[in-house]
Structure 1
Amino acid sequence: MPPFSLNHGFTSLTHWGLILVEGPDAAALLQSQLSNSVVSLKRTMLGHIARGSDSVRLVGYCSPKGRLLSSAWLGLFPETVDSDDRFALFVSKDIAASTAKRLSMYVLRSKVKVVDASDDWEVFGAYQNEDASQSTNPPKNSIALGMPDVLVQDQSFQRILIAQKKLGATASSVDQASLDQWNSLEVLSAIPRIVLATQEQFVPQMINFESVAGVDFKKGCYPGQEIVARSQYRGAVKRRLQLMHIDNNVSALALSKPGVELFQASDDSQPCGMVVLAATNAVDSDRIDLQVECKLDAFEIGAIHLGARDGPVLTLDSLPYPLLEI
């Protein structure tokens, strides 16, 4: 496969949303609800890019049964130096409202406000590799955080999520080529993102959440924490996120959607997995890359099919990171 043709890009991400959690008790609220610790996050001022694990965290929000309701990239962005804490959570837009509503249920008498800001703020994605001639400078009053780099065929791509207040009712235009490459990079990162179709489908470890620093096992309690901890220390997880790909055609494209189930030809009684994210490869349009959650023993039995027992056959690829032992 040839290298990516675009060494940098910038586009509106209409499928991403933003939740803002602000107030003196904001950190305490999120610490009690999310899978990762937030109390040690460094502040990042508007117009600057939050980078590194001390300023950016991948977090999960679980149900009491330990199933992920949402995932988010989180940073701390006060309006001014003297302002109260304001946390920004970049989430899938189709679950932003329900996630904000659920967080609001636990505010009670705390001094904190939870707002789904997806209608008032627009989310953008910027990426570049080491060959890019210019660096990304976010707008003055924007919220921006750096996501983990993605290594694709010896090219390392930096990725930045940027949120900016809308100036009017008209949304910014989408650069389709940049959007395709952004989505392709996200899938190839093997870092999952929960969408509406996959809500409450996965315990964090089933999609490698602990292996991509999305779970802090030393923090205090949060919804589902006992189940997540039990899965980790008792070796109860027999499913994992894997990267796979498939030849692009009409039927494969229709099936390459989050929530579509995976099957084995030898067992059609129940699915063996599910699509987490998928995107057409930005370089090879004849290829679709997929993040899938699948039973570990399924790979030892035979071919894995997309959508049905006789559906298109998926090909297994390597993960870009090691899995933590469970």
Structure 2
Amino acid sequence: MSWSAFLDTQSLLPTADTPWLAPVEHLTVVRARGEEADHYLQGQLSCDLRAVDQGAHLTGMHLSLKGRGLVSVRVVRDGDDYLMLTPDGMGEALIKSLMKYRLRAKVEFEQLEDLAVIMLGGELAPDLPAPGQSLRTPEGLWLRYPHTDHALLLVEAGEAENRWQTLSEGRNAVTPNGPVLADIEAGEGMVYPGAEDLFLPQVLNYDVTGGVNFKKGCYTGQEVVARMHFKGKLKQRMQRVDFTADLALQPGEVLRDGNGKAAGEVVISANTRNGGAALVVLRRDTDGVLYKDDTPLDSQLNELPYPLPWKD
């Protein structure tokens, strides 16, 4: 039975108290391999691969020359290769974006169709990696979130059913909505389809989560990003919003304040028991009371698991 066919046989809850596990369907995986993969990616992504080489996993962006994110990744070392988790539907865009500057560099990219991703929430085993770190075990490749009690497991699709059945003991089984909500709780935003070329890395708080490094040297779009960091004043950042209105929010969608003025753009949203939650890039002066067109979200700001370093 295929991994997708197996999941069709499972009774999955939309949300659940911890501990839980869920299939991750909002991300896909691209492998980078080749003797110059490390050097090449270091010059293309906003994060510092030297930390990844030491066992960390980091979010990062591949930027346009304007410094805006064309595509996001969560990058981790896997032996001599690198795996990049990127939003579903953007695997080919990621490869195309990175290939644009490859020239003669000895690096190849491949979207992996035979790799399953599972997320665990709550009561993580003590032998898993430390927060923000990765670890390969006989079960697969683990990536533990830095700020919340969540972990990803990357496993060959042929082994995913066995891993699921083992890990599901004592855990609620949750739909793919669960991992999206977990990313919102963790404040882990990415560039999803519909929001390309909108956000500086700092706008998605990558300067807080290690997704941009200001000492690593040059990479595509670096000058604009560095200029904002050292000389500019960031007027908007990604924040969490909870809402009770029965509305669907799409990445890149503009939300407005009570005066009809644009207040920010949606990064990603998920369902909750009381309505929905979203990561939204908001102006600093926004109070969290937002509207989609003329419809109120009945929304309020909620906390992220890390502080936002607003500059005065």
Q: Extract unaligned runs of 5+ from structure 2.
A: 1-14, 130-134, 165-171
Contact 1:143/1:162 (CA < 8 Å) preserved in 2? Answer: yes
- 1:186–1:124 CA distance, 2 compared to 1 (3 A): same
Deviation, structure 1 residue 204: 1.3
Deviation, structure 1 residue 135: 7.0
Question: Which of 215, 220, 224 is the aligned partner of 1:218?
Answer: 215
The 5 A counterparts of 1:214-253 are 214-249=211-246, 252=247
Question: Which of 277, 283, 297 is the aligned partner of 1:289?
Answer: 277
Aligned residue in 1 for 2:140:
142
Give 1:257's aligned amino acid.
Q
Question: Which of 260, 270, 280 is the aligned partner of 2:271?
Answer: 280
Deviation, structure 1 residue 35: 0.5
Q: Does 1:94 align with 2:89?
A: yes
Deviations 1:26-50 (A, max 9, x none): 100000001111134336xxxxxxx
Aligned residue in 2 for 1:122:
116
The 5 A counterparts of 1:1-326 are 5-42=16-53, 54-78=55-79, 85-117=80-112, 119-129=113-123, 140=138, 142-150=140-148, 157=149, 159-167=150-158, 177=174, 179-249=176-246, 252=247, 254=248, 256-268=249-261, 271-281=262-272, 285-299=273-287, 304-326=289-311
Give 2:308's aligned amino acid.
L
- 1:41–1:69 CA distance, 2 compared to 1 (3 A): same
- 1:227–1:316 CA distance, 2 compared to 1 (3 A): same
- 1:316–1:6 CA distance, 2 compared to 1 (3 A): closer
Deviations 1:65-111 (A, max 9, x none): 11111222211111xxxxxx201111112111110122122222122
Counterpart Cα distance in 2 of 1:182 and 1:196: 17
Counterpart Cα distance in 2 of 1:129 and 1:55: 21
Q: Extract unaligned runs of 5+ from structure 1.
A: 44-53, 79-84, 151-156
- TM-score normalised by structure 2 residue count: 0.81
- 1:197–1:134 CA distance, 2 compared to 1 (3 A): same
Deviation, structure 1 residue 216: 0.6
- TM-score normalised by structure 1 residue count: 0.78
Counterpart Cα distance in 2 of 1:37 and 1:19: 18
- 1:135–1:68 CA distance, 2 compared to 1 (3 A): closer
Counterpart Cα distance in 1 of 2:120 and 2:136: 9
Give 2:157's aligned amino acid.
K
Counterpart Cα distance in 2 of 1:183 and 1:15: 7
Task: Determine helix, strand or coil for the equivalent of 2:82.
Answer: strand
Alignment size in residue pairs:
284
Task: Determine helix, strand or coil for the equivalent of 1:17.
Answer: strand
- Give identity over the alignment, percent: 23
Counterpart Cα distance in 2 of 1:190 and 1:148: 10
Contact 1:210/1:324 (CA < 8 Å) preserved in 2? Answer: no
Deviation, structure 1 residue 201: 1.2
Contact 1:264/1:309 (CA < 8 Å) preserved in 2? Answer: no
Counterpart Cα distance in 2 of 1:39 and 1:111: 19
Give 2:138's aligned amino acid.
K
Task: Determine helix, strand or coil for the equivalent of 2:180.
Answer: helix
Give 2:256's aligned amino acid.
F
- 1:176–1:97 CA distance, 2 compared to 1 (3 A): farther
Contact 2:242/2:276 (CA < 8 Å) preserved in 1? Answer: yes
CA RMSD of aligned residues (A): 2.9
Contact 1:261/1:306 (CA < 8 Å) preserved in 2? Answer: no
Aligned residue in 1 for 2:5:
none
Aligned residue in 2 for 1:47:
none
Deviation, structure 1 residue 239: 0.8
Deviations 1:238-281 (A, max 9, x none): 111111111142xx2x2x2322211123234xx22111111122
Contact 1:9/1:126 (CA < 8 Å) preserved in 2? Answer: yes
Task: Determine helix, strand or coil for the equivalent of 1:227.
Answer: helix
More divergent stretch after superposition (105-114 vs 15-24): 105-114
Counterpart Cα distance in 2 of 1:19 and 1:11: 21
Counterpart Cα distance in 2 of 1:20 and 1:189: 25
